Amino acid sequence: MNQHIRVRFAPSPTGPLHIGGVRTALYNYLFAKKHGGDFLLRIEDTDQTRFVEGAETYIKESLDWCGISYDEGPEQPGDCGPYRQSERKDLYAEYVDQLIGNGRAYYAFDTAEELDAKRKEAEQQGTKFSYGPKNRDDLNNSLHLSAEELKVRLENEEAYVIRFKTEAHKTLELHDEIRGYIEVDTEVLDDKILFKSDGMPTYHLANIVDDHLMKITHVIRGEEWLPSLPLHVSLYQAFGWEAPKFAHLPLILKPSGKGKLSKRDGDQLGFPVFPIEWIDPASGAVSAGYREEGYLPETLTNMLALLGWNDGTDQEFFSLEEMVEKFELSRVHKSGAKFDPEKTEWFQHHYLQEQPVEDLVDQFLPILASNDVYPEKTYVKEVVATIKERATFVSDFWELSFFYFVAPTEFDAKSAKKAWKNDSEEWMRALIGKLESLEDFSKDKVQAEVKDWINTQGLGFGKIMQPLRLSLVGAMRGPDVFHIAASIGKAETLSRLHFAMEKLS
């Protein structure tokens, strides 16, 4: 490809960005970077009625957290700015005038009441009202007004909208990079509103004009925009502009596969559907975000990349750099991709293991402090290195390792029943005697000595190891008992054994 690739992510700041939106941004980013092109962020905020305070900041913060950086955008100006449509509003009128001039758009004066009446009438006849090629000649618009009549109406400041004049009796040949060729008969289309009398363009007009002016070569967006494709391609034709290539990404489905994953599913299904936490400015309601739930951005981007794409092999772990290298639009699937929260945790487990231990320690220290323990960093490092394999989140660390820092104060009843037998007290007393005699309390030494001692006593291993573990941990879990004993030291090991004997006998 010797064309200079330019793609954009064009969210409307109407609320938090759903993970489907993050995937759209990600695929655009991957495609741009793969081809040495540019990735733009354009804020589509022409619909002031749907504007939500804080949504734009939220979008930028989400992309930033995911590592999806843009080359041009509101705070990253390039040659095609501004990148917020509300700051470009003066420019759209000129383009809609072009379409009026060449007969591809017209003024429509129908009032809300008139249109409502038409809708009701159609409903009564069991049909649906649609403003388009079949009926526009009978409606209240400039198509059948003389130039003079139109002038008078405009001078009288009659309220109007400007509609696109869909070409009648035409079959549009559309092409989608993922879906291939699609034929659409213009008879099924309506004359969409391009411009409102408040001087604001609608999404359709602003989107096409901006994609053209911003030299966008590929429009990569969600499948929900596929129905707009005929209009968008028709608009390019009406302007006489070369259209970009289009790729509509498959839907992300609920885990059940039944229906599209919606913004509300997060609360209902118990996993986040937003990249970062969102606090609704109107109600104060909090929606969970992956970041705040302790996920790593690598988890989210890897998981999202595979929702609708693979590289043709069985590989499942991809760093962002690797995705850039391997990404192909032609390998994006057509059918919906089922969201899988368990798989997401599986990715998270993997990426947590990849984190430098120092970083994990830094995240664990505040949790330790909140439990009122302030150990040496090197000690915490050793503990984290030992237990992280069992953890999916840093927030799992305390539960997996508290016994390295504090003595158990109670014993899990089920474990105690299983591990502490009638003769356990006696054997633990003997073990204490053995441990007291050890000068070197390193893990290897303790392990070798205790194992030897068990053997010479002719005992089963469990007879000693089970009550020992119970005494040190408070339950029948945790890593190697000798590692725990050596880590907490001789005095603490003995003290825990005494406490257990007191409590359990």
CB-nearer residue toward ligand GLU: 14 or 130: 14
Distance, in Å, from the CA atom of 486 to the CA atom of 365, rounded to the nearest integer, reads 21
CB-nearer residue toward ligand GLU: 206 or 360: 206
CB-nearer residue toward ligand GLU: 203 or 295: 203
CB-nearer residue toward ligand GLU: 10 or 300: 10
The dihedral sign for the CA sequence 141, 146, 149, 151: positive
Closest approach, Cβ 398 to ligand GLU, in A, equals 41
- The one catalytic residue in 89, 196, 260, 263 is 263
Question: How many beta carbons lie within 10 A of that of residue 108, not counting itself?
Answer: 20
Distance, in Å, from the CA atom of 32 to the CA atom of 393, rounded to the nearest integer, reads 32
Closest approach, Cβ 48 to ligand GLU, in A, equals 14
Distance, in Å, from the CA atom of 430 to the CA atom of 353, rounded to the nearest integer, reads 40
CB-nearer residue toward ligand GLU: 12 or 471: 12
Closest approach, Cβ 203 to ligand GLU, in A, equals 6
Closest approach, Cβ 206 to ligand GLU, in A, equals 9
CB-nearer residue toward ligand GLU: 207 or 302: 207
**Locus of tokens 């970041």:** 291
Q: Is 310 exposed, middle or buried (0-12, 13-18, 19+ CB in 10 A)?
A: middle
Q: What residue ranges bind ligand GLU (CB under 6 A)?
A: 10-12, 44, 203, 207, 221, 225
Q: Is residue 443 flagged as an active site residue? A: no
Rounded alpha-carbon distances, angstroms, from residue 207 to 31, 65, 398: 20, 26, 50
Question: How many beta carbons lie within 10 A of that of residue 88, not counting itself?
Answer: 18
Token pair recorded at residue 413: 């009843």
Give the rounded distance of the alpha carbon of 323 from its chain centre: 16
In a 3-state reduction of DSSP, which class is residue 193? strand
Distance, in Å, from the CA atom of 311 to the CA atom of 298, rounded to the nearest integer, reads 17
Residue 15's nearest CA partner among 279, 261, 259 is 279
Closest approach, Cβ 126 to ligand GLU, in A, equals 33
Give the rounded distance of the alpha carbon of 373 from its chain centre: 35
Closest approach, Cβ 363 to ligand GLU, in A, equals 34
Report the catalytic residues.
263
